[in-house]
């Protein structure tokens, strides 16, 4: 049995995150080798935070982000960036909220109010995986949008899909059987993406935008948890709010407890919650 251990209901986009920060350093988080150097460029900081370079320059000029000017170029020490983020600096973007919420490995369910928000959540999820230097997979058989339509939606949301595809770090995967074949899909992806002997984390996003067979879907999610526990996987299964609203309350509870965390996203609010095993008496 599980119980919900904590929940954060956050106004989406503007209000500061008042939670006590437990963000690991960049090195602890396993970001790319360049991000682990002691001194960073403004362009690298901007790419990491998903902001414009001019925004980083403004923080430097205002003294909010400690910087060193070498000639005409700004440089930021990694320790200064860690401190800046730990004290609530930078924009409170969807990616940053996910950064403090998601673990590696992880298995979460997400509920989005609209398809546009669902795609925005996918893009933020992948931006975080990109920052880790990992492999990103969008499985799209469980929704009517084509790969081309998803590519446009993700690009509009700020994910550089074309570049990531050229670097062989992002792929679209058309799942033959969204329910009965999902386990085989993951095994195939694991085999294909780790056949060079390298241990790489895979960030995979699945979506349900139509009604599904609930019993089969929940059996599938239970099996996915077992695969996540045995591999370096971060799996997010998203469902539209109108779909989950039609589920019986008992089914919604079961879906919640079959995942390590739950994300709810509407146009106005973001809610993040975690589950843990109930402690013994």
pLDDT digit string, tens, across residues 224-256: 888 887 788 999 999 999 989 988 999 889 888
Same domain, 159 and 261: yes
Angle at which helices 53-62 and 42-49 cross, to 10°: 110
Residue 247 lies inside a defined structural domain of this protein: yes
When mean pLDDT is compared over 2-16, 135-149, 237-251, the highest value belongs to 237-251
Residue 18 lies in a domain: no
- How would residue 99 be classed by pLDDT, with cut points 50, 70 and 90? confident
In a domain, 19, yes or no: no
Residue 133, CA distances (Å) to 57, 96, 138, 154 in order: 25, 16, 16, 18
Name the residue with higher pLDDT: 62 or 117.
117
Distance CA(116)–CA(157), nearest Å, equals 9
Do 164 and 78 have their domain in common?
A: no
Q: Are 110 and 205 in contact (CB under 8 A)?
A: no
Where is mean pLDDT largest: 46-50, 115-119, 187-191, 254-258? 115-119
In the chain, the percentage of residues whose pLDDT exceeds 70 is 78
Higher pLDDT, 6 or 223: 223
What's the average model confidence in pLDDT over 19-38?
48
Is 163 among the domain residues? yes
57 and 162 fall within a common domain = no
Average pLDDT, the chain: 80
- Of 62, 86, 110, the position where a domain reaches its end is 86
Inform me whether the pLDDT recorded for 19 exceeds 90.
Answer: no
Same domain, 34 and 75: yes
pLDDT band per the 50, 70, 90 thresholds, residue 31: very low
Same domain, 269 and 140: yes
Q: Over 50: is that where the pLDDT of 15 sits?
A: no
- What separation, in Å, do the N-terminal and C-terminal C-alpha atoms of the chain show? 13
Asked whether residue 40 is assigned to any structural domain, the reply reads yes
Rounded-to-integer distance, Cα 161 and Cα 228, Å: 25
Please give the full DSSP string across 178-237, using - where no structure is assigned.
Answer: TTTTHHHHHHHHHHHHTTTS----EEEEEEE-S---HHHHHHHHHHHHHHHHHSSEEEEE
Phi, psi dihedral angles at 30 (to 5 degrees): 75, 35
Residue 152 structure tokens: 């446009």
Total domains in the chain come to 2
106/238 same-domain check: yes
Q: Say yes or no: 118 and 229 in one domain.
A: yes
**pLDDT band at 196, cuts 50/70/90?**
low
Q: Rounded to whole angstroms, what are the CA distances from 123 to 5, 60, 161, 236? A: 27, 28, 9, 12
On whether residue 34 sits in a domain, the answer given is yes
Q: Which domain, by its residues, includes 199?
A: 2-13+94-277
The pLDDT of residue 199: 65
pLDDT grade, residue 86 (50/70/90)?
confident
Least confident interval from 60-74, 192-206, 218-232, 262-276: 192-206
Asked whether residue 62 falls in the same domain as residue 162, the answer is no
Instruction: Starting at the earlier edge strand, list the strands of the sheet with 73-77.
Output: 39-41, 73-77, 68-70
Note whether 38 and 136 are same-domain residues: no
Residue 8 lies in a domain: yes
Say whether both 48 and 167 belong to one domain: no
Q: Name the band, by pLDDT with cuts 50, 70 and 90, for residue 188.
A: confident
pLDDT for position 8: 52
Whole-number pLDDT of residue 203: 94
Same domain, 65 and 117: no
Is the four-CA dihedral 105, 252, 6, 118 of positive or negative sign?
positive
User: Is the pLDDT reported for residue 180 higher than 50?
Assistant: yes
With a CB cutoff of 8 Å and minimum separation 6, the contacts of 111 are: 238, 239, 240, 241, 244, 262, 263, 264, 265
Specify if 52 maps to a domain: yes
Two tokens at 142? 């469980």
pTM of the model: 0.72
Domain end (from 47, 67, 86): 86
Domain end position, chosen among 86, 113, 137: 86
């Amino acid at each position: 049995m599980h119980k919900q251990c904590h929940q954060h209901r956050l106004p989406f986009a503007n209000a500061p995150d008042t939670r006590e920060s437990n963000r690991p350093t960049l090195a602890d988080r396993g970001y790319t080798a360049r991000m682990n150097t002691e001194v960073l460029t403004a362009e690298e900081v901007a790419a990491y935070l998903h902001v414009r370079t001019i925004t980083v320059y403004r923080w430097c000029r205002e003294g909010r982000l400690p910087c060193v000017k070498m000639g005409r170029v700004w440089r930021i020490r990694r320790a200064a960036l860690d401190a800046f983020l730990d004290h609530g600096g930078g924009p409170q973007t969807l990616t940053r909220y996910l950064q403090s919420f998601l673990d590696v490995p992880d298995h979460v369910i997400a509920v989005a109010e609209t398809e546009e928000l669902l795609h925005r959540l996918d893009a933020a999820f992948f931006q975080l995986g990109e920052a880790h230097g990992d492999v990103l997979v969008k499985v799209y058989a469980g929704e009517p949008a084509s790969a081309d339509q998803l590519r446009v939606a993700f690009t509009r949301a700020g994910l550089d899909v074309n570049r990531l595809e050229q670097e062989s770090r992002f792929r679209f995967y058309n799942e033959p059987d969204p329910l009965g074949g999902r386990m085989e899909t993951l095994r195939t992806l694991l085999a294909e993406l780790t056949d060079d002997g390298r241990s790489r984390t895979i960030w995979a996003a699945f979506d349900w935008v139509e009604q599904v067979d609930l019993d089969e879907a929940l059996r599938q999610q239970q099996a996915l948890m077992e695969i996540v526990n045995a591999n370096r996987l971060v799996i997010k299964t998203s469902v539209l709010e109108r779909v989950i609203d039609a589920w019986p309350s008992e089914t919604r509870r079961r879906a919640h407890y079959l995942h390590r965390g739950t994300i709810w996203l509407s146009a106005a609010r973001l809610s993040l919650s975690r589950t843990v095993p109930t402690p013994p008496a």
